[in-house]
Structure 1
Amino acid sequence: MASTAEPKKKIAIIGAGLVGSLASINFARQGHEVHIYEFREDIRTAELVQGRSINLALSRRGQTALAAIGLEKEIVANSILMKGRMTHDLQGNTKEILYDPLHGQGLFSVGRKYLNEKLLNLAEKNPNIHMHFEKKLVTAKLDNGDLIFKDLKTNVDVKENADLIVGCDGAYSQVRAQMIKRPGFSFSQQYIRHGYLELCIPAKDGEFQMPPNYLHIWPRHSFMMIALPNKDKSFTVTLSMPFETFESIQTENDLLDFFDEHYPDATALIGKDRLLKDFFKSKPQHMVSIKCNSYNIGSKAVILGDAAHAMVPYYGQGMNCGFEDCTLLDKILSQSGITINDALKQFSESRWEDANAMCDLAMYNYIEMRDLVTKRTFFMRKKIDEFLHCLMPDTWVPLYNSVSFSNMPYTKCIDNRKWQDNIYKNIILVVCALVVAQFIILLYSYLN
């Protein structure tokens, strides 16, 4: 790996989650001294890990990042392949929708905690990486790298300094909060009116209760439920629907009636007692979509992952997109003679449009999963896409394939889809014109 033209830096990474852990490894491999600061306790020793526990869908972009640090094979081996979606209708009937019938590619369901632990373990082996847990960022002066943390064990403020501050501290990033105050920094956030609540389909007699190699979906037009398989033969279930629908369920009878009406087959899978316990033990969580431009402040600060581009989870690209941030930044920093300042500028300028595009795609996929998969037009389009992809595998790449099974820039994925849509429209116009012409010919023959 090529070295940078500048002396090695002291880098402070805020956040020891998935993206922060991966970023620390990449920076350390470049020879920099890396300090990771995390406000939570070490998840590897914590009895109860707070935060999101929704399963992750590992796809090509994430696999590429893990392969670069030698973890891909181990992670994939400890994940479950999901070769497609399986929809559940109101009568309990199921329908298989393969992601990639031509090549058999799929997504890998992997536990968030498991993957985070593996990344932290690998980071800990690098002598250039130093970990600091239960350190909450209080203030950050991005121009000079001064940082103040609250030590949550002692309740004492700790002052630190770094040449580069890397914000990997999630959708509610404190590093980004400092960037927002600066002129020229564009920022938008959008909360959707739908929330999510996590449930569980447990194993039965030590086995899965549903076919394991699928992402299961119960599409109900304005809301939905999904389930991803776990290695312990359970399924992590996510119920997504408008907050007003959640609020309409106040009693145990309300909940059981709601599931009997909308998810009758799921009630038996989850179990009534567990359903009641899991539903009422917590409140539905908000989902936010965040877009930024730019991602850096000179050579002093940069944001990655959800701190730069939080997205709703319905395309399974949040982690993959964050990992791709690390891959692209590492590639830029590896260029011979490049400075940190130029590398961060190049990363920011080349990345923000793609990440913003993925935020939009994630919003679209929620509509597809909860509603469009129930429509005949969706299956007709998918079958045509599959046929054309089989005929022209390098030319006609369906949108889902390009997003999940390639490293194609997200904006290019959308451009390809628009190009395909235009061809569809032209074909439809030609077919309609031929039908009308045939009708006119037949009518003329009849009248004469």
Structure 2
Amino acid sequence: MDYSTNDSKSTSKKKVVAVVGGGLVGNLNACYFAKRGFQVEVFESREDIRQAKIVKGRSINLVLSHRGRQALKHVGMEDTIISKGIPMHSRMIHALNGTQSPIPYGKKGQYILSIDRANLNKELLSAAETTETGAMTFVRAEGAKEEIQADLIVGCDGAFSAIRKQFLRQSRFNYSQTYIPHGYLEFTIPPINGEFAMKPNNLHIWPRNTFMMIALPNLDKTFTCTLFMPFEEFEKVTTGDKVIEFFQKYFPDAIPLIGAEALKRDFFRLPAQAMVSVKCSPYHFGDKCVLMGDAAHAMVPFYGQGMNAGFEDCLVFNEIMDQLNEDFSAVLPEYTRVRVPDDQAIADLAMYNYVEMREHVNSKWFLFRKNVDNFLHIIMPRTIIPLYTMVTFTRTRYHKVVKHWHWQDKVINQGLLFCAAVSVAGGSYLLVRYLPSMPNIPIEQLWSRLCTLCWGQ
């Protein structure tokens, strides 16, 4: 399909926006542009998801949080989508011995939502079509040569964007992609007697330092499990017996939940899938074309922000349209200026969060620091804000989140170091002061008395 822009300045007809890619970000964009009164045409190589018998594409569960909710709210979709999601209030950590311990995401009442990708896409498509102000047409593009006249082309065609490929021909366009050495496989935990097999209002995590498994709840009472692991580890598991041996070693409590036979079948149903991180800049070409969503900033899924960042792209673009009176020649470069540093920051945070999820949650120091951060947030809510809270429950710009995180991390660590130094100095003083008067007291008793003097215990 060939796309060209319409340079006509006539105001007698609606401006035409061609949205390339009928996925989540493309369809939400269609809602935004149709609401503004544009004539919108959505081009997608796959058939309309609402009529498809088999839905192709990625199936990793989606996590909806504040940024995505705000974007949906602007087009009247928030309540509809929330009603079809499952709240998750905490991470539920599964230790190797089978014990489970929750780590809350935020303050009481704060949660993220487990959302079904296909259902969300259907809802967005239908919402765009029924927008009264403008109009939306879904066009299935299957490689036929056809010139489309449009005032603006919006590339929302995913991590391997055909629109972005055209940008690569332009000078001063920066582009990079990075495949991480880890892949993923999916499994399903079926219901038990018609009910969830585990507590449903949690994101379940089996952290094993160099790899992990997670499970998110679905409305049909199943859980979708995703095993993230280095490809070289996947390659070592070559038979059904080795699958069971592997799970008995690292995820023993998951075997009866998934089922031994299902594990053997699903482990080899598909090869482990790759995950890519994409960065590029600028996001626009002149006043005629702009990239959004994964086409601009594909990221690994470990912060649950891929969809939310893509939805926020739509909201930010809409806000800039308001500020600059829909003047594409001003809107597009401003969108690039505002959005590139934020999207690249969350891409980096997504990489970091994989290490936190698979490894740091096992650390006593990590749990201690999390409690310290939460306590300080309670007494200084505007100064100390946990990283996850800033990313997930606010619309603080991502790059500012990173700056604030580094600053407060340095301050808290220095504070803890100071407290430790004061404790050591105080203990040393008491030891020097009282040791001469206690020459015959065993060291264990002396230490006990010293602890009582210092800390009352």
Instruction: Calculate the TM-score normalised by the size of structure 2.
Output: 0.90
Q: Indicate the larger mover: 424-433 or 376-385.
A: 424-433
Per the TM alignment, residue 87 of structure 1 is displaced from its structure 2 partner at its CA by 0.8
Quick check: which has more Rg, 1 or 2? 2
2:25 is the counterpart of 1:19: yes
Q: Distance in 2 between matches of 1:66 and 1:409?
A: 18
2:218 is the counterpart of 1:212: no
Per the TM alignment, residue 76 of structure 1 is displaced from its structure 2 partner at its CA by 0.7
Per the TM alignment, residue 422 of structure 1 is displaced from its structure 2 partner at its CA by 1.4
Does structure 2 retain, via aligned residues, the 8 Å contact 1:40–1:133? no
Aligned to 1:281: 269
Q: Distance in 1 between matches of 2:50 and 2:431?
A: 77
Paired residue secondary structure (1:11) = strand
Which residues of structure 2 form unaligned runs of 5+?
A: 1-8, 438-457
Q: Distance in 2 between matches of 1:221 and 1:161?
A: 52
Paired residue secondary structure (1:86) = strand
Deviations 1:179-235 (A, max 9, x none): 122111111111000001111101121100000000000000000000000000000
Aligned to 2:356: 368
Aligned partner letter, 1:434: V
Deviations 1:24-61 (A, max 9, x none): 11111112111100001111111111111111110000
2:92 is the counterpart of 1:81: no
Q: Distance in 1 between matches of 2:221 and 2:432?
A: 67
Paired residue secondary structure (2:274) = coil
Paired residue secondary structure (1:208) = coil
Aligned to 1:113: 118
Q: Residues 76 and 12 from structure 1, CA distance in 2 versus in 1: closer, same or farther, beyond 3 angstroms? A: same
2:141 is the counterpart of 1:126: no
Q: Distance in 1 between matches of 2:364 and 2:340?
A: 35
Aligned partner letter, 1:270: I
Aligned to 1:291: 279
Aligned to 2:74: 68
Does structure 2 retain, via aligned residues, the 8 Å contact 1:55–1:109? yes
Aligned partner letter, 1:108: L
Does structure 2 retain, via aligned residues, the 8 Å contact 1:196–1:286? yes
Deviations 1:241-282 (A, max 9, x none): 000011111111111111111111101000112112221111
2:179 is the counterpart of 1:173: no
Paired residue secondary structure (1:287) = strand
Aligned to 1:255: 243
Q: Indicate the larger mover: 120-129 or 107-116.
A: 120-129
Per the TM alignment, residue 119 of structure 1 is displaced from its structure 2 partner at its CA by 0.2
Which residues of structure 1 form unaligned runs of 5+?
A: 137-149, 151-155
Aligned to 1:141: none
Q: Distance in 1 between matches of 2:75 and 2:151?
A: 24
2:16 is the counterpart of 1:10: yes
Deviations 1:266-324 (A, max 9, x none): 01000112112221111111101111111000111100000001100010000000000
Aligned to 2:290: 302
The one of 186, 190, 196 equivalent to 2:178 is 190
Aligned partner letter, 2:113: F
Paired residue secondary structure (1:207) = coil
2:304 is the counterpart of 1:316: yes
Aligned partner letter, 2:197: Q
Identity of aligned residues (%): 47
Paired residue secondary structure (1:192) = strand
Matches within 5 A, 1:157-172: 157-172=145-160
Does structure 1 retain, via aligned residues, the 8 Å contact 2:324–2:330? no
Aligned partner letter, 2:120: L
Per the TM alignment, residue 133 of structure 1 is displaced from its structure 2 partner at its CA by 4.1
Instruction: Please provide the CA RMSD for this pair.
Output: 1.8
Does structure 2 retain, via aligned residues, the 8 Å contact 1:6–1:339? no
Q: Distance in 1 between matches of 2:70 and 2:337?
A: 22
Does structure 2 retain, via aligned residues, the 8 Å contact 1:36–1:129? no
Q: Distance in 2 between matches of 1:14 and 1:278?
A: 33
Q: Runs of 4+ in structure 1 displaced over 6 angstroms?
A: none
Instruction: Calculate the TM-score normalised by the size of structure 1.
Output: 0.91
Does structure 2 retain, via aligned residues, the 8 Å contact 1:198–1:278? yes
Q: Residues 75 and 93 from structure 1, CA distance in 2 versus in 1: closer, same or farther, beyond 3 angstroms? A: same
Matches within 5 A, 1:235-246: 235-246=223-234
Q: Distance in 2 between matches of 1:256 and 1:337?
A: 61
